Amino acid sequence: MNSEEILKAAQAEKKDGEYENRIKDKSALISIVASLFVIAVMFYFEYLVFHRFDYGKPAIILLISSVSDIFCGIKLKNKKNVILGAVCGFLFIICIIMYVGALIK
């Protein structure tokens, strides 16, 4: 193999790796959106039937969003994502406190 063939092979591998990463990212995003939809439906169903709020389900949504945004912000050095993740983390803590408070009642 000459240097041009080696270069073409390396570029082809890089493209395949990028494609795989995009597919993995897209599949993770689709699974997160699907699970958020199911959690939202469960949350509203519980409110309509039992007339109470379960703050555990929104806490799960906020935790997923917080961890995802903070990780993405740190890896990409994007302060906006880190701040958004911190806000979601703060709201997650509030939901957990409200969840525990509702259990104590």
pLDDT of residue 13: 62
Model confidence at 10: pLDDT above 90: no
Range from 20-29, 35-44, 56-65, 96-105 carrying the lowest mean pLDDT: 20-29
Confidence (pLDDT) at 7:
67
The domain spans of the chain are 3-104
Those residues with Cβ within 8 angstroms of residue 2's Cβ, 6 or more apart along the chain or in another chain: none
Residues in contact with 71: Cβ distance below 8 Å, sequence separation at least 6, in sequence order: 85
Q: What is the pLDDT of residues 32-90, one digit of tens each?
A: 788 888 888 888 888 888 888 788 888 888 898 888 888 888 888 889 889 988 999 99
CA–CA separation, 53 and 47 (whole Å): 6
Which positions ≥6 away from 100 have C-beta within 8 Å?
none
Distance spanning both ends of the chain, measured CA to CA: 74
Give alpha helix (H) positions in the chain: 3-50, 56-76, 79-104
